[in-house]
Structure formats: C-alpha cells, structure tokens
Structure 1
Amino acid sequence: MNLETLLSLPRNTKKTFFVIHDMMVIFVAFWFAESLKANYNNEWSSIANWFAFASTALLTILLFVKMGLYRAVTRYVSTRILSTAVIGCVISAVIFFISVLVFEQRLRLALPIVYFLMLVVLITSSRIILKAILTDRSNRKQMTPVIIYGAGQSGRQLLEAIKQVNEYNAVAFVDDNPAIQRTTIYDLPVYRPSEIKDLISRYGVEKILLAIPSASHEERKIIIERLKKLPCEVLAIPGMKDLVDGKISVSSLKKVSVVDLLGREPVAPNPELMGADITGKVVMVTGAGGSIGSELCRQIIRQHPAKLILFELSEFSLYSIDKELNETQANASNPVEIIPLLGSVQHRKRLNSIMKAYDVQTVYHAAAYKHVPMVEFNTIEGIRNNVYGTLFCAQAAIDAGVETFVLISTDKAVRPTNTMGASKRMAELCLQALAAESGQKTRFCMVRFGNVLGSSGSVVPVFEAQIAGGGPVTLTHENITRYFMTIPEAAQLVIQAGAMGIGGDVFVLDMGESVKIIDLARQMIRLSGFEVKDENHPHGDIEIKVTGLRPGEKLYEELLIGEEVQKTTHPRIMTASEVMLPWSELEKILQYMDSACREMNQMALRQLLLEAPTGFAPKDDICDLVWRQHQQAV
C-alpha cells in the first residue's frame, strides 16, 4: 500500500490507524518506564502491571479523543495541536502515576517523568515526521521552485499559504533589508537581491513571488526593473489591503503588470476638486460603459452625487457597469440612485429629454469612437459620432441649463494625421466656440491625455493575449512611442481638471515620459518568464514582429498644439491656449461637413477637415472601406 492509497482512505479509517499507533506508543513508554525499576523481575507476568497499563492506555486514548488530537489533519498539523499533545502527555503521566500506585501499590517517583518524556517524544515526533513526509512527498518534484521576494509579514504569510497547496515549492527568501539577510525564517534562508541569479541556476527557479505590498511605487519599480532581466516569471500579491484583510493566498498572486513599470506614484486627489461638480449633484456620463467612462462612474459614485445617469449605446456595456455600481452600493447607508439609459449621442432630442427630465447639472462626455484604424475605415460614422455627437451633447446641455460640461479628449487631436484625431480636434473647436458665446451659462472644458493602460484600445491587453498564446508579439514600427497613464489616475485628473475650468479651457494632463512600444513588448515578455527571440537569441521563446504602421497612425503623439502652456494649482494638470474659431464661422464649416456626410462625399469631407484649424495632415489616402469599394467599381 503506497502513500497516496493511505491518504485516500476514509477519515475514520485514518483516525483508527492513529489510535492503534498511539496505543503502541503508550505500550512502549509504559514498559520502558517499568523496566527501569531497580527490583525489575519478571514484570511482564504481573497481572497488576497489565491492569495498570490497560487503565493508563484506555484513559489516555479517551483523553486524546476528548482534546481533539485525532481531529487534526496531520499534513497541516500546527504548533497548537502539538502543544495539545504535550498537555495530554502530562495528564497521561499523572494517570500512569495513579494507575501504578493503585494496582502495584509501589512506585518510584522518577518513573512518571521517564514515561512522560518517552510518550511526548514518540507522540509529537511521529506526527512531525509524518507531516514532513506528506509535505515532501514525491509530487514535490512536480512543484514549481519559487523565490519569495520580501521576508516581512506578507512574505511569511505567503509562505504559509504556499505550504497548503502543491503548486509552488519555496526555496529561499530574498530581502533588501541587511538586518535579516543571512538569517533563516521558517526554515528558509534569507539572501541578498544580488544572489538571485545564483539561486535561479542552483534551484531551477521558475517564478519570483513579490511580497512587498507596503513598498512605494518607486521602490517597486526599481525592484521590477532589476527582476525583469532574469529568466523568471514575476508574480505579486495585490496590495496592503489584502494583507490587512488576511486574504494573502496563492490564488491572489497575479502577474506583475506593466502598470508597475509605466505607472507613477499617484498624486493624492484634492477632495475639494473631486467633489466640486459631483457631490449632491445630478451627474451624467456619456459612454459610461467604456474604459474611461466606467472608471469615471466608479470615481463619481464615491463623491456621493444626488443621481448618476449612465448613458451608453451598448446594451451589454451598460448592463455591466450598472450591475457593478449597484453591487458596490448594496451595503451603503445612503446609496446613490443609478439611472441606466440606452441611447446614442447622435440623437439630440433623446439627450435633451434626458437632461431636462433629470435636471442634469454636470456632464462628462466620454462617448467616442477612438480606435484609429476603425475610424479611418468608417470615416462618416467617426465624424458623426465624435464631432456631431459632442456638438449635440453640448447643445442639449445648454438647452437644459447644465452647469458643467467636460469633454474627454485625446493627444491624437494634436496635429492629427488621422480622421479620429481630426474629429476630436473638431469636437474641441465646437466646445471652444460655444464657450465663447456671450451669455453662456454652461461652463465647457476639455481634458486631453494619451493612452490609458488596460483600456480596450491599449496595446497592453493585446500583447498579454499574444504572449499567452506563445507569440509572436506584433507592433507596427520599431520606433513608435506612446504616453501612458493608468485608468484610475486619468479619471481622477479629469474630474479635478473639470472643476478648475472657467470656460473653454483646454487642460492637458502630465503623462510623464513617452514609452517606446518595442521596449514595452520586451518588458512584458520577460516579466512573463520568457526570453525574447531575435537574431542575438535565436533559441528564445517569443518573437517580436514589426507589421508596419496602420492607416493614420503616428510614430509619436503630442499633447500640445501651441507653446503657451500654463501651470495650474495641480502638479499634473496644465492648461493650453489653442487656436479657435468663433461660433459664426465654425457653424458654417459644420453645416458643410454635415452635407458632405449626408452625401457620403469623402473628398469634400477630407477637404473641409484640412481647411478647418485642426492641423490635420493625413499621411494616407482616404481609407474608408465603402468609398474604396465604390472607387474600385468605377
């Protein structure tokens, strides 16, 4: 019968084995103590001795049952159970003393002590040895060798969690603290970070588990920069909240995100700015189910608006964000009323009706077509949604007496080389023109920023899927660069910028340094535990393929048109002075564009975009798929 067969036996059967084992241990301890009598002579044949043994054994087993010694699962035996066994052995020694005294009517005081020592050693050591065998049984060879980076409280908790499953085999701790280096914690030695490479080759380590939830973002970034060069996948526990809640487990480990490399230490939001346009007000978010729109909703609901209106074209996206927000409000003492509404920003009457019916006070306009190639292939719909959708929202806001209207813009609106960017710049011009109208009561502003990590249009989820599929990872150009920001940071800054506007403001978010996308791809491959396959490493795991720039795609993005940039009271929000047109002039261009869209006149539409003050400089011919099909048929 092998070990796996024994482990698969019913629980009661295994308890019976332990009872038999302990009976044998008591037998050995009892007769060993008896053998030490000075006048030892044929003690085996004494009926009194057997009565003494029987009473000692029976009462001890009943005692162990009562104390719960047989309820403990041996492979998870803890210090508490062992201490229970020691207490049981002490009481058993007292039973031994009384039994021998009653039945034999003679006793040396040293014998109970010998009996106790013998019994406690055999009882506890057998369980410890069995636990070690079960922990170190044959399937350990199939477990993944790992290093735990961080020997603090969370690292120790993670080690305990690892011991409960058969997935990882922790071989060492690594810690930056010199005070605990060269020590041993829970039987694992603590090494310096400089020794990781040697540990990887010595133990065949495949993963490094980060247990540093209290580290600052900058410290975390330095550590990950160091680790990404190693041939190991890096996983991390989510954060301090999980440590406090006692939720550190193997299942809570996640891949180290590029957010840890590209993100920044967030600036604490200004509570006054966060709540200025939201707290106690009726707030409406268009495109509420999108990446930015949904995060805006999450941030807004924390500021306790009177009502939150979710306006979304996609039924499933609306259902998802409505369900999520209602779940977060389920246990709130004063839940926010959430109103999910389907509709298109191209339907002005629908927008008018909603804003007037609910007396909307603040609008965050996040609805847009933002994927550059999709808008290039569907030019008319892109213009309709991004330009006229924004215009109709803004006009509905004016009619309904909305106080604040904030447009979510993009860095692609700056000197655009594609229709999407040009359409967003036209949307900005619409708001600038409306804001400049005399007697305007609605305060318009726009917030311009670059890519957000993890959004539906970001390269990050695309790269993650390609890496998970074994590659190749594809990018459009070796020198392409982009700005990146996390979605929560972007949403917080949008809300704060909106509260700072006085009318017609173009706010620009500080995106930090631009990132070379090929470097991002390499980092993600290495953090996943793979090696980049290239000319220098022909036997690598995942190849990076360059596919060529897509229609309308830039090598790099900008955030400003003019050079007149002013700082604001917020360190990550700037304001820019941009070229604008008065409404009387812009209205004519919009009328011509509307006619061109109705007539599906792509040539006229492109010409109007070129003539408007958008800075539009297309690098490709017209890419609209339907227009091209018609051209081929002529």
Structure 2
Amino acid sequence: MTILNQRYLPRWAVFLLDIFICFISFATMFLILDGTPLKPHTVWPTPLRGLFLISINVIFFYLFKTYAGIVRHSTFTDIFKVASSSFLTAISVITFNYIYFLFTDQKIFLTTGILLYMFFSFTLMLFFRIAVKEAYQYLKKFTTGKLKKRVVILGMDDQTISLGKALTTESNLPYKLVGFITENQINKNLKILNKPVFSVPITNTSNEFTELLAQHNLDGVLIVSESLSIKEKNQIVEACLANKVEIFNVPLVEHWNRKEDIQTQIKPIQIEDLLERSPIEMDIGLIKSDLYGKTILVTGGAGSIGSEIVKQLAVFSPKKIVILDNAESALHEMELYMNQNHSGLNFTIMLADIRNLERMEMLFAKYKFNMVYHAAAYKHVPLIEKNPHEAVYVNIGGTINLANLSVKYNIEKFVMISTDKAVNPTNVMGASKRAAEMYVQSLQDHINTNTRFITTRFGNVLGSNGSVIPYFRKQIAYGGPVTVTHKDIIRYFMTISEACQLVLQAGTMGNGGEIYVFDMGKPIKILDMAERMIRLSGLKPYEDIDIEITGLRPGEKLYEELLNDTSTSLPTYHSKIMVSKVPTVDYTEISIKIQEIVAISQYGKGKEIVKKLKELIPEFLSNNSEYEILDLQKHL
C-alpha cells in the first residue's frame, strides 16, 4: 500500500497533532519570555498554567471542529476555524485573567505571553496544514514516476485486455498492471501483454483470492462494467475491503471519451454500482411508434427526472421537445448539454412557471403539443412541511393548470410523475402529490375528456438533486459525521435512467386514468448504506467517520409504500410495471374541495391548509410534524 492509499488523515490524529502543537507553542512562549525582563506570574505553577491554557484551546477545537476537515484539502473555511479557535482562546484566557485580578489583585498570565502563544499556535497549525497539503500534491505528482498502485484486472476477455493494453502503454498513469485474474482453468505459464494470468475462484471470494491479494502486495482491483453481476461485484468488494484493497470501476472501452482521458475513466467503485438492480428491458419499437412525429412538453425539464426524460426522448427523435422549467441556471445548463449532445434535435428551452395559467395557455396554443410529461414539482419533504402554501401552488395548482389545458387542447397523453410518498401520506409533500393524482384520475372520467391521463409512481432516485447518496458523499468528504435520521429507516431506490425508462414504457400503456407503480426491488437500510459508503471511501465507520442518528425529520416515516392499504395491483405485459387500482373520486366533488384548498392557501395559515388536505385525503396522517395535532382533533 502506498502513502496515498491512506485517503484521509484520521480526525483523532489531527486532533492530537493540534494539541501537540499547542504544547510546543506554550513551551516556545515560556522559553522566549524567560530570556526577557518580562517574568511570568507565579500565582499558579507553570505546568498548571500550560494545562489550563491548552485545555481552553482544546474546548474551542471541539466547538469549531477544527479537526473535522480533510487536511490535504484545507480551504479558507478550515483556516478560519483554526484562527477563530486561537483568537477566542486568547480572548477567553485574557478575560479570565482580568476577572481573577479583580477578585484577588493578582494575575495568572502575562498578556504578552497569551498573545505570543496565540501567534505561535496558529502559525504552527497553519504551517502543519499547508505542509500536509503540499506534501500530498508532491506525492500525487510523484505517482507518475516511482510510486504506482499495483493493480490486477478481473476477467480475461477483449474488454479487459483492451484495458490492460491502455495501462501498459500509457506511462503517465498512476497504476502498474500486475496481471489478470480469471476463474477459468488455464496453463499456469499463460501471459497476456507479458503479464501473468492468475487462475483463482473469485465469485465466492475464496482464500485463494485473498492470498493472491496479499502475495502480490496489491493496492487495487479493476472491474470492467458489465463483466460481472452485481452479486459477484459485492462478493469481491467485501473481500477487497477486508484486505484494505481498493476497488475501481471502469466503463466498457467503447464508452470511453478520449484515449488521453483514460485516468478519468478509472474511478473508485461507488455504492450505486453495488445496488442489486436487474437490467430494464424496454419495448423500443412500441415507444418509438408512440413518440414518432410528436411535439412533446416536458415540465421540470431541467430537474433530475425531467432532464433524464428529455435525454431519453431525444434518442427517439420526436418532432419537437419543449423543455420547460423555472430554474434559470439549471435550464441554461440543460440548453448547453442539448446543444452539445443533440444539436440535430428540434428542441426549445422555455423559462416559465406552471403556476402561471396565462403563460401556460400561450405555450399550449403556440406549440400544439401532442404529449405532456409532467415532472415539475416541489419534492423536499421537510421544506414543504414548513411551506404547505407552495405545495398547493405547484404540486396541486400547477398540475391542475396543465391537466385542464391538456383537455382543452386535446392533448393525446398526459404522463404525470408521482411518488411513493403519495401512498398513505405522512407529510404535506406526499399529500399534495396524492391530491394531484386524484384530480387527474377524476378528470379522465369527466365528460368530453379525450386526453389519456397516466400517473407513474416510484420511490427514491439515486443521484437526484437532494437525494441521500450525494449528501452522504459530501459529509464523508468533509470528514463527517454522516447523519442518518433513524437506525431502522429503509428506502426503495432506483437509478434515474431506470425510472425514466419505465416512465416512457408506462406511457405506452392503458386507456388513461391508471396509476402505474414500478418494481423498486428490495428496500435498503439507510444506516447500512452509510456504513458501506464510508468503507468504500477507505475509512472505518464510527472510527474515522462517525455516524449520528439525528431523529426523523418532520413528515418523514420509516418506510415508504407503493400501494395504499385499499389498493390492489395487477400485472402488465412488462414485468417491472404494475397497475394500481385506486378508487376514483367524482370530478365535481374533488374540484370543489381543491378549489377550497387553493383559495385558503392564498391567505390562510399552514394548519388551515393541511386540515383541508386531510379532509380531502382521509388516509393522510402526519408523522413527526406540528400537524399531528390535527389528527388528534379529528378523533375527539
């Protein structure tokens, strides 16, 4: 293992080194003053003065978490924390010194000594961080020379041999290819690219595999995407982690962008690569015929889900795609992406808000859409719990605007993106999405409705804005702690690509009014995910990176459901898509109730809005929220 394999200097090590620097600073201050006419006060013995001063400094270390950052990535914020702890230590001790003087007419510390201590301790801690940062950068550059990670490649086929050729011909890469590993029985003297081929069982992570890692002093194992199943990857990852060997994931060679970009293609394996997901099979022909020659509106088109829907629609070359969002910066990024990757596609970027009915009507009249994919929504549970007005305006009111216009302009198909949080909702966000589902369902059966309203419902999406995995990754990068709301909380996960593939497939189904739910696989315990992500980062949970249980957030529940208690699900011709048979509410009845909710949201308080939502959705029971009192009042 090279020095660089230690990804982060442990927090306890930084903490102890900073304390050691404090002792050095106090000793230096004492020696300097000892050679001057300024003599320290002798009310307290020198060791006690030093212990007191350093203890105050340690308290501020803890308060400012000066040890929590990654030293080699120290920023101005980290330096500011160190400076603040030193400055406040000096202020606190000087204040204590003068208070002591007022009561006893004696001083414990020389003010000059305290200021010298502050200067020395801050300077040395700053120098320590700069030295580590510069040393790491030097060692990182040095890896292109003598220090290279010794790696093996799993598998022996055209893909792995192409990868091996790239590693052996590019001298500036920080990897040294030791050989290939295969489970096939081969001649022991077989070599590829003049590198040995090791024949050992790998899928059951045998002792032979572990011994091979140790015998050849391996630093890393390279896995080519799609060469192994998820189950096999997990077995190998566990064996490598147990032996402190890094695991790298490499895309198929034909997916590499540029030859000179090989190093960026080799990345540490991520938690997303290890979640057990079977591949999605799409009926490409059916989707293509459904989208051919169509003008399509995608709302929320710059968001996580909406942008992926746009990217997948672009493959089928519809007549025109209008990408609508009210997030200016994200929409600009989307435009740059489309110009770079789909310049031949007829698309329009539209900055607009679905709450603005007049603006929406102008667009419907101008573009004469054939289809609408409605992905625009507010989705962050704790934030919406504090702002129920906005949930009503966007998730309900915005959906009503689009749905009514779809009927008025004879849109062929309206596909709405919903959420598992709409099932037996425990928060305002889920309730607002359930209300939107109920409205479009009732509209389907309304007189003179030719539009097919289709609702798709799924759980958490990996890598989406605000999702848990990027959040954990940032917390690990900052040195922790990683925060989990409850030790038993579980969630369903699906990749953005998978979710949007199923959205397009579900859009080809049914006669309208259906709610389609997706097979989300097995639920995942969030605490287990956090622990594994820390281990994949080369660290130890609870030692290098702590995990804190913070308590459920407002409106959050331990597990999500895809069907409510009274629902039944029926299979479709696609194994991963089921149709939920949810009773439809009368259009007139729900219209009146929703109009009341919208009217109250313009001037009413949060509790009044939520109370009306609970009347509309009887199964809406608040959890860990200020609105729980409304449920108690209802049963009195």
TM value normalised by structure 2 = 0.71
Aligned to 2:583: 579
Task: Verify the 8 A CA contact 1:411 1:450 in the aligned structure 2.
Answer: yes
Q: Secondary structure at the match of 2:393?
A: helix
Pick the aligned partner of 2:152 from 147, 154, 162: 147
- RMSD over aligned CA atoms reads 2.5
Per-residue displacement from partner, 1:134-193 (whole Å, max 9, x unpaired)? xxx998653223333234333333334334125123334322323366744323452523
Aligned to 2:98: none
Task: Verify the 8 A CA contact 2:387 2:606 in the aligned structure 1.
Answer: no
Aligned to 1:606: 610
Letter in 1 for 2:560: E
Pick the aligned partner of 2:285 from 272, 285, 288: 272
- Paired with 2:372 and 2:323, the residues of 1 have a C-alpha distance of 10
Task: Verify the 8 A CA contact 1:352 1:400 in the aligned structure 2.
Answer: no
1:542 aligns with 2:530: no
Aligned to 1:238: 251
Kindly state the Cα deviation for residue 496 of structure 1 after the two structures are TM-superposed: 1.1
Task: Verify the 8 A CA contact 1:213 1:237 in the aligned structure 2.
Answer: no
Aligned to 2:295: 282
Pick the aligned partner of 1:170 from 168, 177, 181: 177
Greater Cα shift, 209-218 or 316-325: 209-218
1:368 aligns with 2:368: no
Q: Secondary structure at the match of 1:210?
A: strand
Task: Verify the 8 A CA contact 1:146 1:170 in the aligned structure 2.
Answer: yes
Task: Verify the 8 A CA contact 1:218 1:264 in the aligned structure 2.
Answer: no
Kindly state the Cα deviation for residue 224 of structure 1 after the two structures are TM-superposed: 4.0
1:210 aligns with 2:223: yes
- Paired with 2:583 and 2:255, the residues of 1 have a C-alpha distance of 49
Task: Verify the 8 A CA contact 1:242 1:248 in the aligned structure 2.
Answer: no
Q: How does 1:296-307 map to 2 (within 5 A)?
A: 296-307=309-320
Q: How does 1:327-366 map to 2 (within 5 A)?
A: 327-330=340-343, 335-366=344-375
Q: How does 1:226-265 map to 2 (within 5 A)?
A: 226-242=239-255, 249-265=262-278
Aligned to 2:90: none
Kindly state the Cα deviation for residue 228 of structure 1 after the two structures are TM-superposed: 4.8
Task: Verify the 8 A CA contact 1:311 1:343 in the aligned structure 2.
Answer: yes
Letter in 2 for 1:579: P
In structure 2, do the counterparts of structure 1 residues 199 and 469 end up closer, same or farther at CA, with 3 Å as the change threshold?
farther
In structure 2, do the counterparts of structure 1 residues 473 and 145 end up closer, same or farther at CA, with 3 Å as the change threshold?
farther
- Paired with 2:422 and 2:187, the residues of 1 have a C-alpha distance of 53
User: Gaps (5+ residues) in structure 2?
Assistant: 1-141, 629-636
Task: Verify the 8 A CA contact 2:182 2:197 in the aligned structure 1.
Answer: no
Letter in 1 for 2:353: S
Matched length = 478
Task: Verify the 8 A CA contact 2:210 2:239 in the aligned structure 1.
Answer: no
Q: How does 1:114-513 map to 2 (within 5 A)?
A: 142-163=147-168, 164-165=171-172, 167-179=174-186, 183-185=190-192, 186-192=194-200, 193=202, 194=206, 195-211=208-224, 213-217=226-230, 219-220=232-233, 222-224=235-237, 226-242=239-255, 249-330=262-343, 335-513=344-522
Kindly state the Cα deviation for residue 603 of structure 1 after the two structures are TM-superposed: 2.0
Task: Verify the 8 A CA contact 2:184 2:199 in the aligned structure 1.
Answer: no
Task: Verify the 8 A CA contact 1:182 1:191 in the aligned structure 2.
Answer: no
Per-residue displacement from partner, 1:277-321 (whole Å, max 9, x unpaired)? 421100000000001000000111111111100010011111111
- Paired with 1:239 and 1:415, the residues of 2 have a C-alpha distance of 42
Q: Secondary structure at the match of 1:409?
A: strand
Per-residue displacement from partner, 1:306-357 (whole Å, max 9, x unpaired)? 1100010011111111221222223xxxx32111111111011111110111
Greater Cα shift, 179-188 or 169-178: 179-188
Q: Secondary structure at the match of 2:508?
A: helix
In structure 2, do the counterparts of structure 1 residues 545 and 231 end up closer, same or farther at CA, with 3 Å as the change threshold?
farther
Letter in 2 for 1:578: V
Task: Verify the 8 A CA contact 1:346 1:384 in the aligned structure 2.
Answer: yes
In structure 2, do the counterparts of structure 1 residues 603 and 146 end up closer, same or farther at CA, with 3 Å as the change threshold?
same
In structure 2, do the counterparts of structure 1 residues 356 and 148 end up closer, same or farther at CA, with 3 Å as the change threshold?
same
Letter in 1 for 2:612: L
> Max radius of gyration: which structure?
1
Task: Verify the 8 A CA contact 1:180 1:190 in the aligned structure 2.
Answer: no
Letter in 1 for 2:294: K
Greater Cα shift, 605-614 or 437-446: 605-614
Kindly state the Cα deviation for residue 574 of structure 1 after the two structures are TM-superposed: 0.4
- Paired with 2:489 and 2:457, the residues of 1 have a C-alpha distance of 20
Aligned to 1:5: none
- Paired with 2:593 and 2:188, the residues of 1 have a C-alpha distance of 70
Per-residue displacement from partner, 1:99-128 (whole Å, max 9, x unpaired)? xxxxxxxxxxxxxxxxxxxxxxxxxxxxxx
- Paired with 2:471 and 2:301, the residues of 1 have a C-alpha distance of 23
1:526 aligns with 2:531: no
Aligned to 1:114: none
Q: Secondary structure at the match of 2:555?
A: coil
TM value normalised by structure 1 = 0.71
Task: Verify the 8 A CA contact 1:238 1:254 in the aligned structure 2.
Answer: no
Kindly state the Cα deviation for residue 436 of structure 1 after the two structures are TM-superposed: 1.3
Letter in 2 for 1:394: A
- Paired with 2:188 and 2:613, the residues of 1 have a C-alpha distance of 64
In structure 2, do the counterparts of structure 1 residues 461 and 413 end up closer, same or farther at CA, with 3 Å as the change threshold?
same
- Paired with 2:304 and 2:464, the residues of 1 have a C-alpha distance of 5
- Paired with 2:498 and 2:222, the residues of 1 have a C-alpha distance of 26
- Paired with 2:477 and 2:183, the residues of 1 have a C-alpha distance of 31
Kindly state the Cα deviation for residue 257 of structure 1 after the two structures are TM-superposed: 2.5
In structure 2, do the counterparts of structure 1 residues 440 and 472 end up closer, same or farther at CA, with 3 Å as the change threshold?
same
Letter in 2 for 1:306: K
Per-residue displacement from partner, 1:567-597 (whole Å, max 9, x unpaired)? 0111111001113321111112112112221
Greater Cα shift, 192-201 or 472-481: 192-201
Task: Verify the 8 A CA contact 2:455 2:514 in the aligned structure 1.
Answer: yes
How many percent of aligned residue pairs carry the same amino acid?
37
Kindly state the Cα deviation for residue 227 of structure 1 after the two structures are TM-superposed: 4.1
- Paired with 1:381 and 1:437, the residues of 2 have a C-alpha distance of 27
In structure 2, do the counterparts of structure 1 residues 401 and 239 end up closer, same or farther at CA, with 3 Å as the change threshold?
same
- Paired with 1:486 and 1:321, the residues of 2 have a C-alpha distance of 19
Aligned to 1:615: 619
In structure 2, do the counterparts of structure 1 residues 466 and 176 end up closer, same or farther at CA, with 3 Å as the change threshold?
farther
Kindly state the Cα deviation for residue 217 of structure 1 after the two structures are TM-superposed: 4.9
Task: Verify the 8 A CA contact 1:231 1:531 in the aligned structure 2.
Answer: no
Kindly state the Cα deviation for residue 243 of structure 1 after the two structures are TM-superposed: 7.1
Task: Verify the 8 A CA contact 1:506 1:576 in the aligned structure 2.
Answer: yes
Kindly state the Cα deviation for residue 239 of structure 1 after the two structures are TM-superposed: 2.0
- Paired with 1:377 and 1:490, the residues of 2 have a C-alpha distance of 28
Letter in 2 for 1:208: V
